[in-house]
Structure 1
Amino acid sequence: MQILRLREILKEKNMTGKKLAELVNVTEASITNLTKGDSLPRKELLLSIAKTLDVDVRDLFIPTKKKLSEKIFVQREDGTYKNIGEIIVDDPDNV
């Protein structure tokens, strides 16, 4: 069962599994097994991967809850609105 987003994050970071393996001092096969969902990393390796990829360790996992986002706007003096960000909340209907 796939619970890590490692393949997706590697693509986003334009990094190969081979390079990540070198940087975290494991075999390329170990990274391949993680990206395919065939194995799970030890916590030390998980933290090392997160640090190496410059992501929060939580970002390595596929979310188990849906998130809803609401855009936040402020009204300017001229009456127009400017998007200043968004707020993310848990989906109350998600089971």
Structure 2
Amino acid sequence: MLRLDVILKEKGISNTEFAELIGVSVTSASAFKTGNIKPKFDTLVKIAEVLEVDIRQLFKPTKGGSLLNGFVEHENEVYRIYSIDDLENLLNIVKGNK
């Protein structure tokens, strides 16, 4: 249910480093990643803060579709897309530069 493995890879954070950052054992951090243990809400908040992501980005979609999350490069600038609003803002930038 959680996307920790993907986010940690994107950020280049090892499992050991992740465990240290959120203040849990390496075993617990691994269990969070595999879904064997579901972290409490306060731990999810800490994970989101430490990884500098919106808490919603920690979860995989549950009803089809996909999570809007990625990078777009336009005219030597890299934009992070977290939401439809981010995508619309980028589209306005692109249209304004035509």
Same-fold status (TM-score > 0.5) = yes
Question: Which structure has greater helix proportion?
Answer: 2
What stretches of structure 1 move > 3 A for 4+ residues in a row?
67-76
Where structure 2 has 5 or more consecutive residues not aligned to the other structure, the ranges are 69-83
- SS of corresponding position for 1:21: helix
Equivalent position to 2:35, from 31, 37, 40: 37
Q: What is the aligned partner in structure 2 of residue 28 from structure 1? A: 26
1:10 and 2:8 matched: yes
Correspondence 1:49 to 2:70: no
Change (3 A) 1:74 1:30: same
- Which residue pairs with 2:71 in the alignment? none
Pick the aligned partner of 2:59 from 58, 61, 64. 61
Tell me the CA shift for residue 17 of structure 1.
1.3
Question: For the aligned residues, what is the CA RMSD?
Answer: 2.3
Quote the Cα distance in structure 2 between the aligned partners of 1:12 and 1:75.
30
In structure 2, do the counterparts of structure 1 residues 37 and 74 end up closer, same or farther at CA, with 3 Å as the change threshold?
Answer: same
Q: Is the partner of 2:95 in helix, strand or coil?
A: strand
Alignment gaps of 5+ in structure 1: 77-81, 83-95
CA distance in 2 between counterparts of 1:48 and 1:20 reads 11
Kindly, what percent of the aligned residue pairs are identical? Answer: 39
The answer for the alignment partner of 2:79 in structure 1 is none
Whole-angstrom CA distance in 2 between matches of 1:47 and 1:75: 37
Rg larger for: 1
- How many aligned positions are there? 75
CA 8–75 in structure 1, closer or farther in 2 if over 3 Å, else same: closer
Return the letter of the residue paired with 1:74.
K
TM-score of the aligned structures, taking structure 1 as reference length: 0.68
